[in-house]
Amino acid sequence: MNKVNEIAQIETESYAPDFYADRQHAQRQMQRLGALREEQTTWNGIDEQLTSLGEIQELLDDNADPEMAAEVASSLDAIDAQLAKLRLALLLQGPHDASDAILTLHVGNGGVDAQDYVDMLLRMYLRWAQEHNYKTEILDQSPGEEAGTKNVSVAVAGRYAYGYLFGEGGVHRLIRLSPFDAAHRRQTSFVKVEVMPDIQEDIEITVRPEDIETDTYRATGAGGQHINKTDSAVRIRHLPTGIVVTCQNERSQIQNREVAMRLLRAKLYEREVLLREAEQAKLRGEHIEAAFGSQIRTVTLNPYTLVKDHRTGAETGDTVGYLNGDVDRFIAAYLQTKVGA
């Protein structure tokens, strides 16, 4: 079904008297309709711009005007950039690629430097999200003892957030002269990145009350007197899988439990996806690495500057730009490799 027909079908469905009887289905359909209309508006806008530029070009052929010619060239460059983004979006065809995302960073080997690298990557992804007009919300954050962060989970809200960020999952390595070492020696640090769709209520993941164990404890970190005097932080263990999630950022225990359950559903979904992929690979006869994840990218700040993705070969010497959120070239390279483009 083409997208014009899909728009018409959803619009017809929405007029039915019982359309809102199933509120979750209605909400998903209206979100899909909004996204399709936005996409249609974008393509129509590009078509109108090209038609207008074509008419201007015909006038230029008869009467050379350097200033107007420069404006036409600039407009065409902007359209090319817009089309490049749209072509990249066409690669996102997974069932949850259009979903919001939950990005979780876990400290790995490297001591305080690794905790500092968590902060560096958090800042990088927050800036990337801002550049793409995505909304972000820190769901949970555990500070390091001396500096940096041990673990942090961030909700990234916006169309295709999960599809774009999915390829960032894996182990990220940093090589630099340590600012935390008195001798200023070179240090290698590791951070594991997890990316999960923020599916919330629209996936068939059932969490039975008898399958979870909930603990409360006193939160740590920033938050004033309240956060240090009440057992508002929540830790939930999913007994069948052993998955543990925590949340201490909200002021009340109820709010922290709601966010923790949101994280748990996302992790259970991610686990199901990994199990299915492993089973499919096993049936194909592929080798499955026992360790979870693998080193996907290295940022080297000394003795030279380079960011290199080990899966795609994409690289840049602009480490400052990369750590300031310029991640798109690596996202695009992964998506193109993934689909064999």
Regarding whether 173 and 296 lie in a shared domain, the answer is yes
Last residue of a domain, one of 65, 89, 113: 89
Quick one: 53 and 182 in the same domain? no
Half-sphere CA count of 22, side-chain side, radius 13 A:
11
Q: How distant, in Å, are the alpha carbons of 36, 69, 92, 128 from that of 96?
A: 16, 43, 9, 20
Q: How many domains does the chain have?
A: 2
With a cut of 80, say whether residue 303 has pLDDT above it: yes
| Residues 131 and 81 grouped into a single domain | no
Is residue 285 located within the same domain as residue 164?
yes
Q: Tell me the pLDDT tens digit for each residue of 180-210.
A: 988 889 999 999 999 988 865 545 677 888 8
Shared domain check, 147 and 227:
yes
Q: Are residues 57 and 101 in the same domain?
A: no
Euclidean distance between CA atoms 305 and 288, whole angstroms: 32
Q: Three-state DSSP class for 307?
A: strand
Please determine, for residue 119, whether its predicted confidence score (pLDDT) is greater than 70. Answer: yes
Q: Which amino acid is at 142?
A: S
Query: Average pLDDT over the chain, rounded to whole?
Result: 83
E-strand stretches of the chain: 101-107, 135-143, 149-157, 170-177, 186-197, 212-217, 233-238, 243-247, 295-300, 306-309, 315-316
CATH of the domain at 249: 3.30.70.1660
Q: Are residues 228 and 127 in the same domain?
A: yes
Chain centroid to CA 210: how far?
Answer: 32
Last residue of a domain, one of 73, 89, 105: 89
Both 250 and 106 in one domain: the answer is: yes
Say if residue 106 is in the same domain as residue 123: yes
Residue pLDDT, tens place only, 308-321: 999 999 999 999 99
Report percent pLDDT > 90 for the chain.
36
Which residues are paired to 298 by β-bridges?
A: 173, 308
pLDDT of 288 above 60? no
Give the per-residue pLDDT at 172. 95
Exposed, middle or buried, 230 (CB in 10 Å: 0-12/13-18/19+)?
middle
Final residue belonging to a domain, choices 46, 71, 89: 89
What number of other Cβ atoms are within 10 A of residue 64's Cβ? Answer: 8
Three-class DSSP category at 147: coil
Answer yes or no: is pLDDT of 155 > 70: yes
Residues 154 and 302 in one domain: yes
β-partners of residue 306 are 300
- Give the structural domain span for 279: 97-341
pTM, full prediction: 0.68
**Under a CB-based contact definition with an 8 Å cutoff, are residues 6 and 12 in contact?**
no
Sheet holding 233-238, edge to edge: 212-217, 233-238, 243-247
Please enumerate in sequence order all residues whose Cβ is within 8 A of that of 144, keeping only pairs 6 or more positions apart, or say none: 107, 112, 115, 116, 118, 150
Contact (CB, 8 A) for 140 and 246: yes
Residue 169 CA: distances (Å) to CA of 68, 72, 77, 102, 323? 46, 40, 32, 11, 16
| DSSP code of residue 209 | G
279: confidence class by pLDDT, cuts 50, 70, 90? low
47 lies in the same domain as 170: no
What pLDDT was estimated at residue 221?
Answer: 61
CB count within 10 Å of CB 232 equals 24
245 in the same domain as 223:
yes
